[in-house]
Structure 1
């Protein structure tokens, strides 16, 4: 993030997400509708669920930039609801980190990780005015790993000085050569419902292809990541480095679409995506003059 403070990024993002996009923006996206199967990175496939749309890698990055977000460039797509009653967004990322060992699955110290984030955040707060500070409250979902499915999930809750709460939820699936991150942007009351949507409708339609699964790892030929599950939670840093660079660890692990005022972000993205879908639907509908034309 260069010299730009994280809190400044938070505030700027909040205002940017609240701004109105150019009218021409909605016409420049390739909206993939439900029922369509898409290929991703040559390693995965995804069938878009009912009442949702998909934006590919390039369009997802473009949407982020136009909304004032800073892409990680690990994006491989995003999923969005089209129903007015649904108000969430899901970003999918893939990092070719090398095979991540899950040997420490029973040694994840959630309290130590939490304290690292808290310490780093409070150290950074010393440079901020009281009304500009934000604080880590705790785990909304404690880090846990499912050895059968090779899934790591966690969600951290924070709040501003004005007691506005925000969070992100990450579900990370380990693969032969790295990991896929499903980053769910939602609010606290809707998290349980939206997690269920992620698991029952989205994850079930996401396929890690044969030869790319975690169990396909070949120790003789495949690259191995330099960190394990704890390092993955810390954004690729080891525990010792995270203690030394607590605030940096916080940024690296959670800067992506998590530490944003959720209500503002969802309102902007939700309206933007529904505008995309409705415009595509209107463009596809035949005009009255078309209907009156006799067939050739």
Structure 2
């Protein structure tokens, strides 16, 4: 039994050293990636062709490829695609806890009618969303990501009927952290679909996001013939959902929009540590089988006590 313990300890120590080295190397790689990001300014035509971004002096634009680098490689979110880019502060540092960005995507599901906007019960809608999130959490955990809780509204939904813009913000909490995350949402309704603007930041940055949201909104606009007022009821497709569904939506796992910047970095490191522990447990199981079922059970019992 002592031989088994020494072998396991030696292998575990070796794996742990490699793991810690990878964490340090990962930090260097993150800094390198952050330094190589290519920011754009001025007038930018989005890849979809439906809208244009006029980047104000206070902001910078990252195209879709650069945005994926930030979301996946730097912030450690699940892989995905479909973003049109991201607006970030002029002094953006993706490795900083206080950084934030507004990810831009486009949903071409048709013209969204807004006639129900004033009659929506947002308290009831919140409860429905919280229940749906609990179900989605089961899939997140299976994929190795922490569960996410919708604590409540950070800003209750509001629809600007004149400009066809919808705003709301959720107070989110990741299961393995006490820190709350802000998920600030903006939807701009168009003739054939909806521009989706999502900002992720710490909850304490709500006032900052609200302060800068007019700059973000004024910088992104539908091109002529794609605007809400260009809708042709005789030929254009009408979406099979309304304002309430835009707010409820699905959990945007593909773009990582429910994960805070710092939380994502911490989670990425934690996954490595979990992987190390998993390999150690696997080794224990193999050697336990060689030395007998009884010893395997003892080893498992000791592991449980340590956890």
Q: TM-score, normalised by structure 2?
A: 0.65
Stretches of structure 1 that go unaligned for 5 or more consecutive residues are 1-14, 236-248, 269-296
User: Counterparts of 1:54-69 in structure 2 under 5 Å?
Assistant: 54-67=61-74, 68-69=76-77
Does residue 137 (structure 1) correspond to residue 144 (structure 2)? The answer is no
**Residue 28 to residue 190, structure 1, CA distance change in 2 (3 Å):** closer
Does residue 108 (structure 1) correspond to residue 116 (structure 2)? The answer is no
What does residue 184 of structure 2 align with?
A: 169
What does residue 289 of structure 2 align with?
A: none
When the two chains are superposed, the root-mean-square deviation of aligned CA atoms in Å is 3.1
Q: Take 2:54 and 2:78, find their aligned partners in 1: how far apart are those partners?
A: 27
Q: Take 2:136 and 2:69, find their aligned partners in 1: how far apart are those partners?
A: 31
Stretches of structure 2 that go unaligned for 5 or more consecutive residues are 1-22, 268-307
Q: Take 1:125 and 1:69, find their aligned partners in 2: how far apart are those partners?
A: 15
SS in 2 for 1:189: helix
User: Counterparts of 1:66-215 in structure 2 under 5 Å?
Assistant: 66-67=73-74, 68-70=76-78, 72-83=80-91, 87-122=99-134, 134-161=148-175, 162-199=177-214, 201-215=215-229
Per-residue CA shift, 1:119-151, capped at 9, x if unaligned? 2345567998xxx66533211111121110111
Per-residue CA shift, 1:97-134, capped at 9, x if unaligned? 11111111112221111111222345567998xxx665
Is the 1:88–1:266 contact (alpha carbons within 8 Å) kept by the matching residues of 2? no
Is the 1:185–1:266 contact (alpha carbons within 8 Å) kept by the matching residues of 2? no
Higher Cα radius of gyration: 2
Identify which range, 181-190 or 259-268, moves more after superposition: 259-268
Q: Measure how far apart 1:42 and its partner are.
A: 1.9
Q: Take 2:257 and 2:230, find their aligned partners in 1: how far apart are those partners?
A: 31
Q: Take 2:86 and 2:147, find their aligned partners in 1: how far apart are those partners?
A: 30
**Residue 146 to residue 71, structure 1, CA distance change in 2 (3 Å):** farther
Q: TM-score, normalised by structure 1?
A: 0.67
Matched pairs, number: 231
Per-residue CA shift, 1:170-196, capped at 9, x if unaligned? 010000000001111111122112222
Identify the structure with the greater helix proportion. Answer: 2
Q: Measure how far apart 1:31 and its partner are.
A: 2.5
Is the 2:201–2:260 contact (alpha carbons within 8 Å) kept by the matching residues of 1? no
